[in-house]
Amino acid sequence: MIAFSIFKLLIYAGLVLFVCYYFVYKVILKLAERRRIQTKGVSTEATVIDSKAMRDSDGAVRYYPVLQYYTADGSAVTVQSKKERYQKYEVGKKLTIYYMADEPRLFFIKGIFPYIKLTSIILGVLSSLLLLIEIYRTIKKF
């Protein structure tokens, strides 16, 4: 019985670490990077020049826009967004982006709110709390 309880505690502790790392810590780092680019970066207009289509495991098509924009010194930068879209942007569409002046390939598209990331944080915190409650209940049984 004690060995099983210790095993449960180890599993719960591992799950807490996993959930906190992947669903809270990593997401907070990405949101902080986005905020850093927005506050310290440069705003410009990018033009959609293409879209790369990829199928996911369910067969649904996801689109990744290819953007071109010009930096403050006039250099042309062509990048592909890492964020998938369910609808294809039309070629020629203008989007406002933020990019880092010292690293122009580091950018994000303005106006795309990271709902998934915020949901991930909320679910990660709630899951961690539930696991911590279970750890407490298991320890209390000793």
The residue ranges of every structural domain in the chain are 2-140
Write out pLDDT tens, residues 17-65. Answer: 999 998 889 999 989 999 999 999 999 999 999 999 998 888 889 999 9
Position 43, amino acid: S
pTM: 0.72
Greatest mean pLDDT among 84-88, 92-96, 113-117 lies in: 92-96
Q: Measure Cα distances from 63 to 8, 57, 83, 91 in Å.
A: 43, 14, 8, 12
